[in-house]
Structure 1
Amino acid sequence: MRRPWIMKQEWNDLLFIHWPVKVSDLRPHVPDCFEIDTYDGWAWIAIVPFRMANIQLRGLPVVPGFNQLLELNVRTYVRYNGEPGVYFYTLDANHITGVSIARYVFGLNYVTARMSLRQNDDTYHSLSRRTHIGMPPAHFHARYRPLSPVLRTQPGSLMYWLTERYALWINRGKRIYKGPIFHQNWQLQKAEVEMPVNGLTDFLPSYVFDQKPVVYFSKSLHTSIFPFERYL
């Protein structure tokens, strides 16, 4: 039986920005212990800006000032022992304490950044400037807005494959950890994005980002995080 959840979070005003990428171009940037997951022969890279709110640790009250932050992550999709999940390259956030806890407790590559996410009418503006000591600078600026009503995600579709992921995978030295995540199906809308600045994915060839991305917006999603499971 799975142990009880350890943290609840709410993800708001979230944008998935996805590009297909050749497995051979992505392979040097994914630990060898993980198989790169593919859809129709392509790997995928994503940038995901959003607002995290109502962060609550099990058994503790919600603490004002510590229950919300902005996040901007770069991720791809992998398998371990055949089980699909998310692999994070970086997770920029504007909360120094939250970054420190996530790095120390979970081993995730969280880094500090100055960030803002504001809404003007139906358009969102996401800006980030990385400030983490020991990390190269990385700036990001995007404008995005939803274009459609909420869509139904069908199993087997690209939309479902990209977003319905219920685990993250981490390697810490020789050890592999799985972080189970539970949530209801995403409520997704088609969206459009303009990115005047993207310094988050310079490790990949420029051809990847010359393509028009696959973009989805979600207004809100409630999630539960469960204790990490050690595999090695």
Structure 2
Amino acid sequence: MLFRQRWRDLVFLHWPADPFEVARLLPPGTVPDLYQGRAYVGLVFFRMDDLAFGPTPPLPYLGSFGEVNVRLYSRDAVGRRGVVFRSLDCDRLLPVLTARGAFGLPYRWSRIRSAWFDGRLVYRTSRRGGERAGARVWLDVEDEPVTAGPLEEFLTQRWGLHERFLGRTYYLPTTHPAWTFRRCSLLGWEDDLVAAAGLSRPRGEPVSVLYAPGLPVRFGPPVALPPPGRRLG
């Protein structure tokens, strides 16, 4: 195990995306992972807690922060399905610098706020440094559990990420318990982050809206992908 963390109060919004547009944004050695011929882009809001490296105790203060990411879905030559992050907004500067320097992940230092109001959850983010990009979501969350459908399983049953760093594409594996979701109703949303990540601005309401209370996650060491065109085995 490389490091571990806990994700809390996750909100997933998803829209269909152009597969050709997605393909040009993925790292070499990966292709768009499609569901019934369609690609998807996700906008995900959550809180991260208890960040820890190996068996060490969780980091105080620096190990807890808000995050908002724009993600695409990928598949590599050996069939591993993953996530490709086009941007990851975070409200702690040191984790931003560490993730960029150690893994090449596109973290951005941002202001992120979240709050509960009588069963309603609100997230708001805006980037620092003068860049006019941000997002907001607010929704009603009920205690009733819901079962994920085939599309939701495709979007959330991901066990690693693909990224390009120092001239090589790698796969970073993850493990976590099964997701649990609760019934929710989207009250509103605003977004500039998807367009800022190089994709077309979402059209209309998201086709999938999910709320998950959270779960613990473990990350294994990265695995380098073979160079494109090289045969496996």
Q: Where do residues 88-103 of structure 1 align in structure 2 (5 Å cutoff)?
A: 88-103=85-100
Structure 2: distance between partners of 1:194 and 1:75: 22
Structure 1 position 60 matched with structure 2 position 56 = yes
Q: Where do residues 170-189 of structure 1 align in structure 2 (5 Å cutoff)?
A: 170-189=163-182
Q: TM-score under structure 2 normalisation? A: 0.88
Matching residue's letter, 1:200? L
Change (3 A) 1:219 1:29: same
Aligned-pair RMSD on alpha carbons? 1.9
Contact 1:111 1:132 (C-alpha < 8 Å) held by counterparts: no
Contact 2:12 2:209 (C-alpha < 8 Å) held by counterparts: yes
Corresponding residue for 1:219? 213
Matching residue's letter, 1:11? W
Structure 1 position 72 matched with structure 2 position 54 = no
User: Percent identity among equivalent residues?
Assistant: 26
Following superposition, the deviation at residue 107 of structure 1 comes to 1.3
Structure 2: distance between partners of 1:103 and 1:187: 30
Change (3 A) 1:132 1:188: farther
Structure 1 position 146 matched with structure 2 position 141 = yes
Following superposition, the deviation at residue 205 of structure 1 comes to 3.0
Structure 1: distance between partners of 2:209 and 2:143: 12
Paired residue total: 223
Following superposition, the deviation at residue 227 of structure 1 comes to 1.1
- Please, which of 74, 84, 109 is the counterpart of residue 81 of structure 2? 84
Change (3 A) 1:42 1:122: same
Q: TM-score under structure 1 normalisation? A: 0.89
Contact 1:190 1:215 (C-alpha < 8 Å) held by counterparts: no
User: What SS does structure 2 have at the residue aligned with 1:159?
Assistant: helix
Q: Where do residues 3-82 of structure 1 align in structure 2 (5 Å cutoff)?
A: 5-81=1-77, 82=79
Q: Note the residue ranges of structure 1 that are not aligned, 5 or more in a row.
A: none
Matching residue's letter, 2:54? R
Structure 1: distance between partners of 2:80 and 2:58: 33
Contact 1:126 1:143 (C-alpha < 8 Å) held by counterparts: yes
Structure 2: distance between partners of 1:218 and 1:194: 17
Structure 1: distance between partners of 2:192 and 2:218: 31
Following superposition, the deviation at residue 38 of structure 1 comes to 0.5
